[in-house]
Amino acid sequence: MKFTPSQRDLTLMQVGLQNVDIIWNNLTLASLDGIGVDHCFELSIGIGTGNPGVFRANPHPYPWKPVPVTRAQPVTFTHGFLQPVTFTHGFLQPVTIPSLVSDEPPLLETLGLEAINLFSGAFPVPTARIIHPHLKSLELDSIAEETVVSEILDSLFLPALEEWIHVHSPILPDHMKSFGHLSSCLKIVKITAGELDKIPLLLSHLSSLAVLELRRLELGTREFFTQLLCLRPLSTISSRLQSLTLAFLYYVPWNLMLPMFSLTHWKSLKVKVETGNDRVVNKYGHHDREIVKQLLQLVDGGFDLSVIGDWGKIDVIQKERLSYQRHSNINIGI
């Protein structure tokens, strides 16, 4: 008798679905690397039916039946596995999104997609969003093609999504905003990219955001902080944010950040700045005692700010405080 394994975790690296023979229904974690984006969609659809590859054997294009999903109205599915969800987010007109839903809800909770390629032609293109009612964490990593990123964001409906990790992949604000609107539980966003100028507008559309991490910050920091300061809904965003991490590849633009940190509605926010330097330096690489003084005043005034230097090895604030005291002989509130 043939034994077919029933996996909970699955990692595929440059291996197509047609080469995998497992029971798919119990998957809670899937990591796909170096395969065509159509394989990702086929896996998403097939998990709910236990039969990826069904397109090749089934004359009907979808094993899941279409269900209209309207962002501005409650969403209820007849099989009882998804609680009613209301999507308002300021839309004046309801936007109906065709979606695919199965009689048996997929159990998938974590999905990682890395270095995903263009359509391979092995499976058809989905014409409706694919619903994963239990998926809480999505990671897109090192996807080079904008087309692939947009197809992924436009083809998934993840109403329970809590964490979204976006690493070294194109920042597409329009597609990301639409995707974010459909994820009313989204609390954690981690972005590693250099396209800073596109991020502030995206943040204004993530209404439930509580934790934000931006890493490998380098180019365009001036424009980024200018937009962030001028963004009208900024106070609304920061009132929900609990934690902000900014990791810089080179120097930290303190002259741009200090005005933002001094705003009243940022005071309750926990901010961590990561840098490769073990001291507070300006853009010329020189130690800047005036900036040190301002940072210490912010911390002593109740601002929850930590600066971690030398790639995680040094508490820069503590080091600068000791140095500042030695040079000024002034007690500033240790």
Query: What does the block give as tokens for 69?
Result: 């999903």
Q: How far is CA 224 from CA 52, 119, 136, 199, in A?
A: 43, 34, 29, 8
> Sorting pLDDT into bands at 50, 70 and 90, what band is 89?
very low
d(CA 169, CA 195): 10
User: Where do we find the tokens 């896996």?
Assistant: 43
Q: What is the CA radius of gyration of the chain?
A: 23
Exposed/middle/buried for residue 259 (C-beta within 10 Å: 0-12, 13-18, 19+): exposed
Q: How far is CA 57 from CA 39, 121, 151, 259, in A?
A: 16, 16, 24, 61
In this structure, what DSSP letter does residue 73 have?
S
234 vs 60, which has greater pLDDT?
234
Q: What length is written for the chain?
A: 334
Q: How far is CA 206 from the centre of its chain?
A: 10
Overall average pLDDT of the 256-284 stretch: 85
> Sorting pLDDT into bands at 50, 70 and 90, what band is 58?
very low
Highest mean pLDDT among 98-102, 239-243, 312-316, 330-334: 312-316
Overall average pLDDT of the 61-67 stretch: 37
Highest mean pLDDT among 14-23, 53-62, 107-116, 125-134: 107-116
d(CA 246, CA 266): 14
Query: What does the block give as tokens for 249?
Result: 């590849």
Q: How far is CA 136 from CA 101, 107, 264, in A?
A: 17, 11, 32
d(CA 143, CA 141): 6
Highest mean pLDDT among 1-10, 57-66, 181-190: 181-190
CB contact at 8 A, 239 and 207: no
Q: Using the predicted structure, report yes or no on whether residue 233 has a pLDDT greater than 70.
A: no
